[in-house]
Amino acid sequence: MKKTLLVTLDFYPSIGGVSNYWVSLGQHMPFGQWAVLTPPLASNTEELKSAYRIYRYPFYSSLLWPRWLPLILALLRVILQERPRALIAAQVLPVGTAIFFVSRLFRIPYIVSTHGMDVTLPFSDERKKNLCKKIFSHAKKIIANSTYTAHALTEYGLSESMIDFVYPCPALMPEKEYVPRISTRKEIILLTVGRLVRRKGHAYVLDSLALLKEYHLPIYYIVVGEGPERENLAKKTKELGLQDRVLFTGPLADEAVKQWYKKCDIFIMTPYEINGDVEGLGIVYLEANAFGKPVIATRSGGVGDAVIDGTTGLRIEPEHSHAIRDSILRLIENPEFAKSLGIQGMERVKKEFQWSAQAEKLKNIVSAL
């Protein structure tokens, strides 16, 4: 593999899918062939323990134009020190812009990694769309995290041969000896894990629970995470009379989240698109499957890569509370079918969504430049 410099806005200790994606892939990169350029740590934060060099420099300045000019200066400094033979832009804008200019100066080939929203949001801004198009057209390869993202990339005039897939993998996995067990509880626990933002669809799940009241089922809904919709969702829960059936846990440590994955009967997240803001993949579906749990999802964004309808979970139309209700009932009334979805999902995660396998894909992409 050629010596590679990753440039990313999102990295440890940031919480999120892109940060975890690159931290996890970096753990499998060859010694001496991988380095990272990322923004500075907050004070009193320890650096990630890794076998590769991590360079921390400011990417922005409010006193300069363009604001990301410090990123150019940082790139020049690190390239002169590391002498990489390949560059990876973890974000199209502004990282891809900086790499576009610097790569031409040093004649270093570059790759752009994409995750969904970073591809779709520029559609509404002609200037940004044209800039993205230029960045993509000069890249040697584009990495997509899902077939949805890959399809969105073709809107920039990219051929399919330019696009390769390196999938995200679950951040939370059960211990190797874990065996999912059939619950002996009377209660039925539904679980959502994720940021409390509108497009995740929590509100539609709450509406479906209100519709389920007439069935007198002991259903409880656990919502793990924090975000700007917390107050609105709590208010809606009260308005629907669901206070005794819904628990907002707030953010939890990884071990606590794992316990909820083990306890739940059904994992549910029903995202939908809002002005180009879309679910790029939905790694939490794979995490739930890793614990042997069936999932309920929507036909939105890149979710189809994470959930195979009728095999690892159920996929329904977005923004449809009655369909959510019907899917929940289907799994409750057919426990053997629900169990089979979870087991098939668990086997798929073990086979297809391991960081070591995805890292090999990345190594091959870089080596072929």
Where do the structural domains in the chain lie, given as residue ranges? 4-169+355-367, 188-352
Please report where in the chains the tokens 């009932």 appear, as a residue. 329
Q: Are 42 and 15 a contacting pair, CB within 8 Å?
A: no
Q: Are 88 and 4 a contacting pair, CB within 8 Å?
A: yes
Q: What is the pLDDT of residue 277?
A: 84
Confidence of residue 26 (pLDDT cuts 50, 70, 90): very high
The DSSP 8-state label assigned to residue 15 in this structure reads -
Domains 4-169+355-367 and 188-352 in one fold: yes
Report the DSSP pairing between strands 86-89 and 163-165: unpaired
Pick the CATH number of 4-169+355-367 from 3.40.50.620, 3.40.190.10, 3.40.50.300, 3.40.50.2000: 3.40.50.2000
- The alpha helices in the chain, defined as continuous H runs, are 17-26, 69-82, 97-106, 117-120, 126-138, 147-153, 202-211, 230-239, 254-263, 283-290, 303-306, 321-333, 335-352, 355-367
For the chain, how many residues are written? 369
The tens digit of pLDDT for each residue in 191-217 reads 999 999 999 999 999 999 999 999 999
Q: Which of 86-100, 175-189, 312-326 has the lowest mean pLDDT?
A: 175-189
Q: Say yes or no to pLDDT of 101 above 90.
A: yes
CATH superfamily of 188-352: Glycogen Phosphorylase B; (3.40.50.2000)
| Alpha-carbon dihedral sign for residues 241, 244, 250, 254 | negative
Peptide bond into 66 cis (omega under 30): yes
Confidence of residue 182 (pLDDT cuts 50, 70, 90): low
Phi first, then psi: what are they for 20, rounded to 5°? Answer: -65, -35
Token pair in block for residue 10 = 């999102």
Peptide bond into 335 cis (omega under 30): no
Q: Say yes or no to pLDDT of 180 above 90.
A: no
Confidence of residue 178 (pLDDT cuts 50, 70, 90): confident
This model's pTM is above 0.95? no
Host H or E run for residue 313: strand 313-316
